[in-house]
């Protein structure tokens, strides 16, 4: 078997049924091997960045690793943004890159790039395979590393001569010696003593809050079920990070909405005022903590994470539990029941009374008139129209992303795909493509801004070729809304380069690819447009022309403490930002 055939064989052995890629000179042997079989499907994207985002959408909506195949040089460099995105958001990706033949490496050959050098800081791990004898082991390790512990992207760089060299694939199984050599062995089972300590702390809490993030989603749907079971057992409130949406049912009374810069007032106030914080698979990101020195000063913090380097990174915690979220939550449930633990009922009642007061501020309130569509209204109507089906949402990055996080409600994990850590504009459309490949019959909607959509709209061609009925719901305000919002608030309204001129007519654009385009310019048209979008069988671009100057509220301005939220445009004057605050993004 030659190297290229081993690659395909390894994909099959790892249960891969679809890959996303783009051919080129260095990967021709692999494309040839791909041509000669019919077990692995290939989705031909129109840009390598989109291949990685599509694989991310596939991975995050299924829990299985997404696989990418690109050529050397520009193929590999184009994939870098996607890899960095997958690293920040812990998405399991195996990215196979072509490389010039081994004897030409380092000679500045045509389409040569130092792919392992370039991708080292934006992958969980990477490999350059110089000998075909190493190939079967490296491919096994790549899948193992991508999925084990905290997931992430892995690059395997494949020189063309290695792909054409004959070698022995073996039976596809790792030998005991190979397994023993693996240095990477994340801790998955928690320390029982710490579980007991956590249960005691949670039972004794007077003002507790659960703070759950993407780690729960990554630990599989069962982790979300155990989390839901445990939170209900305790009767305590829960909030989510942007990445965690869906791991606890949003319609439940105990859910306070999203936390952080554009999270709800009640979630942020509860985080600020709590006495016990239970972080599960969340990493105390700067979007969540606000000014670190004032972050939840009075609380004991329990931090559950599979990655020890996430613990005590930004915020010092009192009780660290290293382990897989599902296993930790299972152990906590067991320990809670064994100890016959009871939450402090009267204290909890008082705590809920305070939370309800914060909730009564209705921080997401907005005013819809007859003339201009408010983005919040469009999303509320979209949610109403889709809530009774199993709908998958992706987003781009910016204002629309925050509104989507605020107004769409997720009852289950793996239904919400967004670029949280890296904040990659252009993520949502190719990600939606990948989700649709994984779930051909599901309704898949990319909630987009027009500027983000412009960054990867070439994938319209891909969704047409593969008949993927992705819906793009553009909240079109004709500008980079979040940039504009910050310029309005912090840069004296000097809208430097945040308005895009010469936007396309999105209906005509859709039609030029053979897709359907629809538009709403008035609130009264929104429901019809949404209905048409959903009922049309193929891909649709819905161009929702929204209020161009609407801002996202509530907001913790950069550098402010997480209890210093601005609830709306009329809610007090924006304080002069400190110099420390101004340098923050």
Partner 1 sequence: MDGPIERHTISVLVENEPGVLARVIGLFSGRGYNIESLTVAEVEAQRGRSRINLVTTGSPMIIEQIKAQLDRLVPVHTVRDLTAEGPHLERELALIKVMGAGEKRVESLRIADIFRARVVDSTNESFVFEITGKPDKVNAFVNLMAPLGLVEVSRTGVVAVSRGTGTI
Q: How far apart are CA 59 and CA 94, in angstroms?
A: 10
**111, 206, 464, 564: which one is catalytic?**
111
CB 336 within 8 A of CB 319: no
Q: Which is nearer to partner 1, 75 or 149 (CB)?
A: 149
**5, 48, 56, 141: which one is catalytic?**
48
| Contact between 116 and partner 1 per CB under 8 A | yes
Q: How far apart are CA 18 and CA 313, in angstroms?
A: 37
Q: Which is nearer to partner 1, 309 or 502 (CB)?
A: 309
Q: Which residues in 34-90 belong to E strands, given as ranges?
A: 41-44, 66-70
How many Cα atoms sit within 13 Å of 182 on the Cβ side? 17
| Contact between 120 and partner 1 per CB under 8 A | yes
Q: Which of 311, 463, 530, 546 binds partner 1 (CB under 8 A)?
A: 311
Closest residue by Cα to residue 91 from 68, 117, 113: 68
Only segment of 46-54, 180-188, 216-224, 497-505 that touches partner 1 (CB under 8 A):
180-188
| Contact between 145 and partner 1 per CB under 8 A | yes
Residue window 396-435: x/- pattern of binding to partner 1, with contact defined by CB under 8 A: ----------------------------------------
Only segment of 20-28, 82-90, 144-152, 252-260 that touches partner 1 (CB under 8 A):
144-152
CB of 338 to partner 1, least distance (A): 31
| Contact between 316 and partner 1 per CB under 8 A | yes
| Contact between 346 and partner 1 per CB under 8 A | no
Q: How far apart are CA 585 and CA 286, in angstroms?
A: 10
Closest residue by Cα to residue 158 from 134, 115, 138, 128: 128
Q: How many residues bind partner 1 (CB under 8 A)?
A: 21
Q: Which is nearer to partner 1, 166 or 183 (CB)?
A: 183
Q: Which residues of 514-552 are buried (b: 16+ CB within 10 A; e: fewer)?
A: ebbbbbbbebeebeebbeebbeeeebbbbbbbbbeebbb
Closest residue by Cα to residue 205 from 358, 322, 352: 352
**35, 37, 39, 110: which one is catalytic?**
110
Q: How far apart are CA 335 and CA 134, in angstroms?
A: 45
Q: Which of 172, 221, 308, 423 binds partner 1 (CB under 8 A)?
A: 308
Only segment of 69-77, 178-186, 371-379, 464-472 that touches partner 1 (CB under 8 A):
178-186
**332, 402, 454, 482: which one is catalytic?**
482
111 a catalytic residue: yes
CB of 223 to partner 1, least distance (A): 20
Only segment of 112-120, 199-207, 449-457, 577-585 that touches partner 1 (CB under 8 A):
112-120
Q: How far apart are CA 570 and CA 375, in angstroms?
A: 18
| Contact between 183 and partner 1 per CB under 8 A | yes
CB 485 within 8 A of CB 476: no
399 a catalytic residue: no
Residue 476: phi and psi, rounded to 5, are -95, 105
Q: How far apart are CA 133 and CA 17, in angstroms?
A: 25
- Joined together, the tokens standing for residue 154 give 């892995």
Q: How far apart are CA 501 and CA 536, in angstroms?
A: 30
Q: Which of 9, 53, 60, 125 binds partner 1 (CB under 8 A)?
A: 125
Q: Which of 38, 107, 253, 309 binds partner 1 (CB under 8 A)?
A: 309
Only segment of 176-184, 213-221, 425-433, 491-499 that touches partner 1 (CB under 8 A):
176-184
Only segment of 117-125, 234-242, 503-511, 515-523 that touches partner 1 (CB under 8 A):
117-125
Q: Which of 41, 106, 117, 192 binds partner 1 (CB under 8 A)?
A: 117
Q: Is 448 helix (H, G, I), strand (E, B) or coil?
A: strand
Q: Which of 128, 447, 457, 479 binds partner 1 (CB under 8 A)?
A: 128
Q: Which is nearer to partner 1, 145 or 162 (CB)?
A: 145
Q: Which of 9, 14, 124, 415 binds partner 1 (CB under 8 A)?
A: 124
Provide the 8-state DSSP code for 317.
-
CB of 84 to partner 1, least distance (A): 12
| Contact between 312 and partner 1 per CB under 8 A | yes
Only segment of 19-27, 221-229, 308-316, 527-535 that touches partner 1 (CB under 8 A):
308-316
Q: How far apart are CA 424 and CA 407, in angstroms?
A: 21
Q: Which is nearer to partner 1, 32 or 286 (CB)?
A: 286
CB of 292 to partner 1, least distance (A): 9
Give me the DSSP letters along 227-282: HHHHHHHHT--EEE-GGGTTSS-TTSTTEEEE-STTS-HHHHHHHHH-SEEEEES-
| Contact between 184 and partner 1 per CB under 8 A | yes
CB 44 within 8 A of CB 19: no
37 a catalytic residue: no
Give whole-number Cα distances, 519 to 464, 508, 510, in Å. Answer: 20, 11, 11
- Joined together, the tokens standing for residue 497 give 């380069």
**160, 300, 374, 566: which one is catalytic?**
160
CB of 579 to partner 1, least distance (A): 20
Q: Which is nearer to partner 1, 103 or 120 (CB)?
A: 120
How many helices and strands, by DSSP H and E, does the chain display?
Answer: 25, 18
- Between CA 286 and CA 288, with CA 287 as vertex, the angle to 5 degrees is 85
| Contact between 313 and partner 1 per CB under 8 A | yes
| Contact between 121 and partner 1 per CB under 8 A | yes
Report the interface residues with partner 1, using CB under 8 A: 116-117, 120-121, 124-125, 128, 145, 149-150, 181, 183-184, 186, 307-309, 311-313, 316
Active site residues: 48, 110-111, 160, 482
């Amino acid at each position: 078997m030659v190297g290229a055939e081993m690659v395909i064989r390894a994909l099959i052995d790892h249960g891969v049924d679809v890959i996303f890629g783009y051919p080129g000179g260095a990967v021709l042997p692999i494309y040839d091997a791909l041509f000669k079989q019919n077990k692995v499907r290939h989705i031909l994207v129109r840009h390598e960045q989109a291949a990685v985002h599509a694989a991310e959408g596939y991975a995050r909506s299924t829990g299985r690793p997404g696989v990418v195949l690109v050529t050397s040089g520009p193929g590999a460099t184009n994939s870098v943004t996607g890899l960095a995105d997958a690293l920040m958001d812990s998405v399991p990706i195996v990215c196979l890159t072509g490389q010039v033949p081994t004897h030409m490496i380092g000679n500045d050959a045509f389409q040569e790039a130092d792919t392992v050098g370039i991708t080292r800081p934006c992958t969980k791990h990477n490999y350059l395979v110089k000998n075909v004898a190493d190939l079967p082991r490296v491919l096994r390790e790549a899948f193992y590393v991508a999925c084990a512990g905290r997931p992430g992207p892995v690059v395997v760089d494949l020189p063309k001569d290695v792909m054409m060299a004959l070698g022995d694939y073996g039976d596809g199984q790792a030998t005991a010696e190979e397994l023993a050599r693996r240095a990477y062995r994340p801790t998955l089972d928690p320390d029982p003593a710490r579980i007991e300590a956590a249960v005691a702390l949670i039972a004794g809490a007077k003002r507790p809050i659960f703070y759950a993030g993407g780690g729960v989603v990554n630990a599989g749907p069962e982790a979300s079920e155990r989390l839901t079971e445990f939170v209900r057992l305790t009767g305590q409130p829960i909030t989510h990070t942007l990445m965690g949406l869906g791991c606890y049912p949003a319609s439940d009374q105990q859910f306070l909405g999203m936390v952080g810069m554009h999270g709800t007032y009640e979630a942020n106030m509860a985080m600020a005022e709590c006495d016990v914080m239970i972080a599960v698979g969340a990493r105390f990101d700067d979007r969540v903590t606000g000014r670190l020195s004032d972050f939840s000063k009075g609380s004991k913090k329990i931090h559950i994470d599979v990655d020890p380097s996430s613990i005590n990174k930004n915020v010092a915690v009192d009780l660290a539990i290293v382990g897989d979220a599902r296993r930790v939550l299972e152990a906590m449930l067991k320990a809670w029941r064994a100890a016959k633990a009871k939450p402090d009922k009267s204290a909890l009642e008082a705590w809920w009374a305070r939370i309800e007061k914060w909730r009564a501020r209705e921080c997401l309130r907005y005013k819809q008139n007859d003339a201009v569509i408010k983005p919040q209204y469009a999303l509320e109507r979209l949610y109403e129209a889709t809530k009774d089906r199993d709908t998958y949402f992706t987003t781009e990055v910016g204002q629309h992303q925050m509104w989507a996080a605020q107004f769409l409600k997720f009852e289950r994990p793996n239904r919400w795909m967004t670029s949280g850590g890296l904040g990659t504009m252009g993520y949502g459309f190719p990600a939606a493509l990948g989700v649709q490949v994984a779930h051909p019959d599901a309704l898949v909607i990319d909630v987009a801004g027009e500027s983000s959509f412009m960054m990867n709209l070439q994938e319209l061609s891909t969704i047409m070729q593969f008949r993927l009925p992705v819906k793009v719901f553009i909240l079109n305000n004709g500008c980079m809304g979040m940039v504009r919002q910050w310029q309005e608030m912090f840069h004296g309204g000097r809208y430097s380069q945040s308005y895009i001129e010469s936007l396309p007519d999105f209906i005509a654009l859709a039609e030029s690819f053979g897709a359907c385009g629809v538009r709403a310019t008035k609130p009264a048209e929104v429901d019809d447009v949404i209905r048409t979008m959903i009922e049309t069988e193929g891909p649709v671009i819905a161009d929702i022309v929204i209020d161009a100057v609407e801002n996202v509220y509530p907001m913790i301005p950069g550098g402010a403490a997480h209890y210093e939220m601005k609830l709306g445009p009329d809610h007090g004057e924006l304080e002069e930002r400190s110099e420390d605050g101004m340098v923050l993004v």
